[in-house]
Amino acid sequence: MPISSTDVSLPDIRVTDVDSVLVDMPVKRPHQHAKIGMRQQSYLLVQVRTDAGIEGIGEIATAGGPWWSGDSVESVKATIDSYLGPALIGESATHVVRTMQKLDKVAALNWFAKAGLEMALYDIAGKALSCPVHVLLGGQTRSSVPVTWPLGSGDAAQEVDEAIARIETGFSRSFKIKMGSLPVEQDMHRAVEIAQKLHDRAELRVDLNAAWTESVAQRHLPALVDAGISLIEQPIERWNVEGHARLARRLNAPLMADESLATTRDAVSIASAGNAFQVFALKLMKSGGFNACREIAAIASAHGIGVFGGCFLESSIGTAANLQLGAALGDLTWGSEWIGPAWLSDDLAVEPVRYEQFEARVPNGPGLGVELDRDKLAHYRRDKQPRVAIR
């Protein structure tokens, strides 16, 4: 559509090239989820180039492989290289919703791939208009976001020490205990020990990653609440929303939906299912990007459900994208876990995301607000280094 001379000039920039690169990044310590442990973190970096000479960056991250949603950085690369990337050529980088609707016709589902591409389009649009992405998402409601730090080594004494170090350096005073990989009794003992040692210094949460059965959760979750745990994330299977509702009725702490919630349709189903979850974990990756997360946040708000900024341990590229979303949300009651850059022992941005006073700072440069470090990309790209086992 031609733009008349009386219109404010938003240039209709077109995509000319889409490139994707797998990178494997070193981390400061292994991280244990319910089903797998991570000894490194892999990303798919997407570079979207345009006829205006502006390049947008997108980063796709998973929870260390396909165990979480079925998506892996390798499967996302195949989908982007063969289908979504070619479909993007010639499309508008600045009319983002329209372009993403075209991609929905090319590939069903594939939220992680679409989130990475939408991220790159918003980066381009922000750079073209010399504004941070949060301006395009409705403007800034906050300049920093509180962070909760995950405790995932499985060794309570080490985890207490790690938490105290994070409190004393002003990084975080909220912690999320990753549970579900140990036998139930041992895991309970560990979580209660951490809670007893930290309860007067920190806010504590747990994430089960859907590892427990409903009966195990019925039996053990009340003791976690009694120990001072203030938020319980996804204790049982993703499909079992009614089971979460039964748990919620017996608990004096909110339940948070993570695996159970990806699409806006999921958000509507959960919100209509009788108070199953009182908090939604928003994640760009699992839902397909900024616009889907804003729609889910609106559904949450309309139902009195709180929101939390979830993550897949992104580098400063993906974390900057998370922070652009967080900057523009009306409500972010439960803060975020946007701590990937502090878990990595190196980063992919020239200037990594900054943390101050228990919060992550929203980058305010154009687009995502961070610049890809091309030397680091060259150093860590998988096709230039020997393969390291994921687990």
Catalytic residues: 178, 337
Q: Are 10 and 94 in contact (CB under 8 A)?
A: yes
Number of residues that bind Mn ion (CB under 5 A): 2
**Cβ nearer to Mn ion, comparing 49 with 286:** 286
The two tokens of residue 29 are 């310590």
- In the complex, what is the shortest distance from the CB of residue 233 to Mn ion, in angstroms, rounded to a whole number? 5
Handedness of CA 32, 36, 40, 44 (dihedral sign): negative
Torsions phi, psi of 257, nearest 5? -85, 125
Q: Which residue is nearest to Mn ion (CB)?
A: 258
Segment contacting Mn ion by CB under 5 A, of 142-150, 202-210, 238-246, 269-277: 202-210
Distance, in Å, from the CA atom of 95 to the CA atom of 125, rounded to the nearest integer, reads: 8
Sole binder of Mn ion in the list 159, 203, 207, 371 (CB under 5 A):
207
- In the complex, what is the shortest distance from the CB of residue 152 to Mn ion, in angstroms, rounded to a whole number? 11
> Should residue 337 be labelled a site residue for Mn ion when binding is judged by CB under 5 A?
no
The strand pair at 174-178 and 203-207 is best described as parallel
Segment contacting Mn ion by CB under 5 A, of 109-117, 162-170, 196-204, 256-264: 256-264
- In the complex, what is the shortest distance from the CB of residue 281 to Mn ion, in angstroms, rounded to a whole number? 6
**Cβ nearer to Mn ion, comparing 123 with 203:** 203
Handedness of CA 343, 125, 372, 24 (dihedral sign): positive
Torsions phi, psi of 234, nearest 5? 40, 65
From 53, 54, 16, 73, select the one nearest 315 (Cα to Cα): 73
Sole binder of Mn ion in the list 71, 159, 187, 258 (CB under 5 A):
258
The two tokens of residue 48 are 């979207």
**Cβ nearer to Mn ion, comparing 238 with 382:** 238
Segment contacting Mn ion by CB under 5 A, of 187-195, 257-265, 316-324, 346-354: 257-265
Q: What residues between 154 and 193 interact with Mn ion by CB under 5 A?
A: none
Amino acid at 93: A
Terminal C-alpha separation, the chain: 50
**Cβ nearer to Mn ion, comparing 56 with 243:** 243
- In the complex, what is the shortest distance from the CB of residue 256 to Mn ion, in angstroms, rounded to a whole number? 8
- In the complex, what is the shortest distance from the CB of residue 300 to Mn ion, in angstroms, rounded to a whole number? 16
Distance, in Å, from the CA atom of 373 to the CA atom of 39, rounded to the nearest integer, reads: 23
**Cβ nearer to Mn ion, comparing 110 with 148:** 148
From 36, 49, 8, 42, select the one nearest 24 (Cα to Cα): 42
Summarize as ranges the residues that interact with Mn ion (CB under 5 A).
207, 258
